[in-house]
Amino acid sequence: MSIRVVVVDDQALVRGGFAMVLGHQDDIEVVAEAGNGLEAIEAARTHRPDVILMDIRMPEMDGLEATARIVDEANWPVRVLIVTTFDPDEYVYKALRAGASGFVLKDIPPEDLVAAVRTMADGGALLSPSITRRLIGRFAERLAVDTAVSHRLERLTDREREVLASIARGSSNAEISDELFIGAATVKSHVSNVLTKLGLRDRAQAVVFAYESGLVEAGDHDIGH
Amino acid sequence: MSIRVVVVDDQALVRGGFAMVLGHQDDIEVVAEAGNGLEAIEAARTHRPDVILMDIRMPEMDGLEATARIVDEANWPVRVLIVTTFDPDEYVYKALRAGASGFVLKDIPPEDLVAAVRTMADGGALLSPSITRRLIGRFAERLAVDTAVSHRLERLTDREREVLASIARGSSNAEISDELFIGAATVKSHVSNVLTKLGLRDRAQAVVFAYESGLVEAGDHDIGH
DNA sequence: TCCGGTCTCCGCCTCACGGGGGAGGACCCC
DNA sequence: GGGGTCCTCCCCCGTGAGGCGGAGACCGGA
């Protein structure tokens, strides 16, 4: 069972180059090529490939939009590898958001591209080193901020941190009282202490602090209904 | 100029294997080996390598602690590649937090390890495909949440979104009034509308919403002084 | 033994906050 | 012209929130 690939790029030359490199591999078969997003969707429907090499800048419909639609409607495990000349952050995030599983630059060595396709077919994900670096950078940055600010968190007692966590969920004093099984007056004491120790004015600022300090993280809990 | 590498692992056999694979490359030179974190720090100081292959689980001092100290005190561009048998999330994040630039599993094919070392030396970063995938997953997840909740944001007028953004910075009504050059009464109107439209109770919950919806992101602005 | 920290709780006081309801002006579209 | 939305501003009113001071109980260390 070879890996079935569709190559999407508006430049026939580039498309041909990729197809040739991949086609020469025993375990890879280029089943179709497409010159824009619409053709890509059509090709995906018809051939149900394992992997799609997708350019971003194309006429008619760009690769991001096409990726989103293909991933959305596909009922088989298709994986999209974005292959582009440009690498601005926005493209990467949009691509990942659209459902792409990989993102590499066109200057990638042929053997690496082949390896990338195999990785994708195996269910893995892959980013260009420079892009991976930025992703890591983002994470490391956030974590660094976390550690820096968490010093102030240490000044709080365990109970006060619990109260702060409740505040950060949007709880009122009465709700915190229920959540922690303590009296309303006690909650007020704790809240006052938290605000004083952290140099904050009100619970809204406490929520900001909780998020910025990493005590809670966006996505930790649901909002609304 | 060959790439100078230090290999750190408590198992001599593993260490030897890595050293042999890397040593056979023309452009890579293994300048030292270490059996635990303390030795790693010492070796890093002495040899000032370009890349350090670092195991995590080791006696005396583990690889994460050693990585943190080395990266912290190094005044040359050293890059640490974590090479481990285990891949739980926590390790990855701790490693990146400690300052590692890469994270791969020990079952990596030799040629890939060599490529990884070269990537690191070039200033790139690298994660195992499975780990990259999870990183991407996290991002995609967050972005998905972003889009889902941002629908509700669209119900707000431009001015109301501005007010919400101010609330999310921890501003009081009076401060928002100054920031937006509008009267205090106007601010109250906007705040009321925001809360009503979003189904929230008070400004604290509005802050939570702002973070969870992606309107603001942790790290967007400073907190405290 | 006493001291300090923590957790618990009680008043009292002030006020910013938020709800309700209303109103005028600017703009746009039919 | 009329209807719609948005931004602006006003008053009244109730209450949750936060500051301040005090207090009893527990526990661990000096």
* Å between CA of B160 and C1' of C26: 18
Are B201 and A96 within 8 A, CB to CB?
no
Please give the pLDDT value at position A86: 64
Q: Residue A14 carries which side chain, given as an amino acid letter?
A: V
Model pLDDT for residues A97-142, shown as the tens digit of each residue: 677 888 888 777 777 788 888 888 877 667 766 666 666 555 555 5
CA of A179 to C1' of D20 (A): 26
Q: CA of A5, closest CA in chain B: separation in Å?
A: 19
Using CB atoms, which residue from A129, A206, A214 is nearest to B125?
A129
pLDDT at res. A138: 58
Selecting from A133, A147, A212 the residue whose C-beta is nearest the C-beta of B125 gives A133
Give the three-state DSSP class for A82: strand
Q: Using the predicted structure, report yes or no on whether residue B11 has a pLDDT greater than 90.
A: no
Mean of all residue pLDDT scores within chain A: 79
Q: Residues of A numbered 65-124 whose beta carbons fall under 8 angstroms of chain B's beta carbons: which are they?
A: 93, 96-97, 99, 101, 112, 115, 119, 122-124
CA B5 – CA A194 distance, rounded (Å): 48
pLDDT at A89: 57
- Averaged pLDDT for residues B167-181: 89
Taking the CA of residue A189 and the C1' sugar atom of nucleotide C12, their distance in angstroms comes to 15
The residue length of chain B stands at 225
Confidence of residue B219 (pLDDT cuts 50, 70, 90): low
Which residues of chain A lie closer than 8 angstroms to B198, CB-CB? 224
Arithmetic mean of pLDDT, B102-106: 81
Q: Report pLDDT for B138.
A: 59
Give the long-range contacts of residues A40-48, CB within 8 A, separation 24 or more. Answer: A40/A6, A40/A8, A40/A66, A40/A70, A41/A66, A41/A69, A41/A70, A43/A6, A43/A8, A44/A6, A44/A70, A44/A74, A44/A78, A47/A4, A47/A6, A48/A4, A48/A74, A48/A76, A48/A78
DSSP assignment string, A26-76: TTEEEEEEESSHHHHHHHHHHH--SEEEE-SS-SSS-HHHHHHHHHHH--S
Distance A164 CA to D28 C1' (A): 26
The B residues from 175 to 204 touching A (CB cutoff 8 Å) are 198-204
* Tens-place pLDDT, residues A64-91: 888 888 887 777 788 899 888 765 556 7
List the B183 CA – D17 C1' distance (angstroms).
Answer: 23
- Whether the predicted pLDDT of B223 surpasses 50: no
Decide which of B69 and B12 is more confident.
Answer: B69
Point out the residue nearest to C6 (C-alpha to C1'). A157
B119 contacts A223? CB cut-off 8 A: no
Q: Tell if B189 CB is < 7 Å from nucleic strand C.
A: yes
Q: Give the model's pLDDT for residue A52.
A: 94
pLDDT 10s digits, B116-139: 888 888 776 677 766 666 666 655
Residue A99 with chain B: CB contacts under 8 Å: 140
Instruction: Give me the residue from A96, A133, A170 closest to B139, CB to CB.
Output: A96
Global confidence as pTM? 0.53
Work out the percent of chain A whose per-residue pLDDT is above 70.
79
pLDDT-derived band at B98, boundaries 50, 70, 90: confident
First to last CA, chain B: 46
The pLDDT, as a whole number, for residue A224 is: 41
Residue pairs between chains A and B whose CB atoms are closer than 8 Å: 150
In angstroms, what separates the C-alpha of B78 from chain A's closest C-alpha?
A: 15
Q: State the average pLDDT over residues A51-59.
A: 88
pLDDT computed for residue B147 by the predictor: 53
CA distance A222 to chain B (A): 8
How sure is the predictor about A63, in pLDDT bands with cuts at 50, 70 and 90? confident
Q: Which of residues 94-133 of B touch strand D (CB under 7 A)?
A: none
Minimal Cβ distance to A211: which of B145, B201, B211: B211
Q: Which of A20-24, A69-73, B145-149, B198-202 has the lowest mean pLDDT?
A: B145-149
Cβ of B183 near strand D (under 7 Å)? The reply is yes
- Which of B112, B118, B175, B223 to mutate to probe the A interface, most A CBs <10 Å? B223
Give the range among A33-47, A165-179, A207-221 with minimum mean pLDDT.
A207-221
Name residue, tokens 């109260």: A163
